[in-house]
Structure 1
Amino acid sequence: MARRGDTIELAVLGLLHEGPMHGYELRKRLNLMLGWGRVLSYGSLYPALKKMLRANLITEVAATTTPTSRRPRITYEVTEAGNEHFQRLMTEVGPTAWEDDNFDIRFAFFSSTDMEIRLRVLEGRRSRLQERLARVQGELERTQAEVDRYAAELQRHGVESVEREVRWLSDLIRAERGDGAPTPPSVPAPAPSSTPRAAGGVPSSND
């Protein structure tokens, strides 16, 4: 199971792979990637940045000031070691790459990987969700008679959320294989992170 710090590290390296950024911009971009339900605070970001600085994965560039702020902003850029580490992380295709948070970040940087790796991650994620779906559907059938209609409706909503993501993944897999499916959008569309995965008793893959 991936730790939150590892997920932040992967995301920061991916963003800095595009070019240098200061902390404010990094936090804004990370929050867009993580989705509305997982806002990243500076209290989480800056310890992660300090750890990456100590590991020589990133480096600080001369601080600059802006017209709207007299406080200098430190800009960060990725080092050669950081780029190599990012590439290694993006080639991992095991269960960690299929977890909720990690998958979203991996998907955002899919352009940095080849088709075989993308397919293995997409297929692994789909298999994980199909297992979760089968388990939760069974639980829903057993408990519907024991809960009121609002609790049952919330459970059904959770099941439908997972079903939508499974269909989305299947479309992406067909597109990667060139099976005639529409080309997937360059920006992660109906981002899975924006759906309440744990709604209605749908257990997280981190459980």
Structure 2
Amino acid sequence: MYRADISGREEGSTMLEIPILGLLSEAPMHGYELRKRLSALLGTFRAFSYGSLYPSLRRLQEAGWIDEEDVPIEEPAGGFGTRSRRGKRVYRLTAEGKEHFAALLAEVGPDAYDDEGFGTRLAFFAQTRSDIRLQILEGRKQRMTEQADGMRSSLARTRERLDRYTLQLQEHGLESADREVRWLNELIETERRGPNPSP
């Protein structure tokens, strides 16, 4: 699933690039703050690995999309009221990084429709063009409709052979898929009406 392309980026790493660049487009952050924000942002959609953050930051820095600087911070040094200074590494988006982030948001492929990709893209919909948002929502709706249809068909064939717990689990999965399709239909309808729909 992961392979390096000619730019040196691993396929699949885009889904971590988007939230890192997106958060840094809001404000420069040090690593710990960025890690907390990413965990809160992605926690619903993926098991965010802290070990993947700093290699990703290094790749983005090598590509010229972010840079870093040590910002001195004053802290109390002890009981004598003196203060010591230590550096804190702060990451910020470069001009090239802003362009790259905009280009990533404009890309639409199959990974934008899966659970992780869709959740990541949805988190930055406010910064995404309306036509791209609509494409992603339509693609996700098709993916979830096919998934729900497959589950419904499988359930119809195997219902009599399932124990009640497995049956309840599969019915719950089908209900969740159907509920997401309804939600996506609402989002698509709102998107088509535009930013200022009439009452």
TM surpasses 0.5: yes
Counterpart contact for 1:31–1:38, Cα < 8 Å: no
CA deviation string 1:22-78 (max 9, x = no partner) = 111111111122124633232111111111111111100223447599874311011
Q: What is aligned with 2:132?
A: 117
Counterpart in the other structure of 2:16: 8
For residues 13 and 51 of structure 2, the distance between their equivalents in structure 1, rounded to whole angstroms, comes to: 12
The total of aligned residue pairs comes to: 181
Q: Distance in 1 between matches of 2:184 and 2:149?
A: 17
- The answer to whether 1:49 aligns with 2:49 is no
Q: Match for 1:92 among 107, 124, 128?
A: 107
Amino acid at match of 1:39: A
Paired position in structure 1 for 2:188: 173
TM-score by length of 1: 0.78
* TM-score (norm: length of structure 2): 0.81
Distance 1:47 1:149 in 2: 46
Q: Give me the CA root mean square deviation.
A: 2.5
Shift of 1:21: 1.0
The 5-angstrom pairing of residues 34-73 of structure 1 reads: 34-36=42-44, 38-65=46-73, 67=75, 72-73=87-88
Alpha-carbon contact 1:65-1:73 (below 8 Å) kept: yes
**What aligned pairs does 1:21-36 form with structure 2 within 5 A after superposition?**
21-36=29-44
Match of residue 5 from structure 2: none
Separation in 1, partners of 2:88, 2:52: 18
Q: Is the 8 A contact 1:33 1:104 kept in 2?
A: no
Relative contact order (C-alpha < 8 Å, sep 6+): which is higher?
1
For structure 1, the residue ranges without an aligned partner over 5 or more in a row are 184-207
CA distance in 2, matches of 1:54, 1:43: 18
Percentage identity across paired residues of the two chains: 47
The answer to whether the 8 Å contact 2:46/2:116 transfers is no
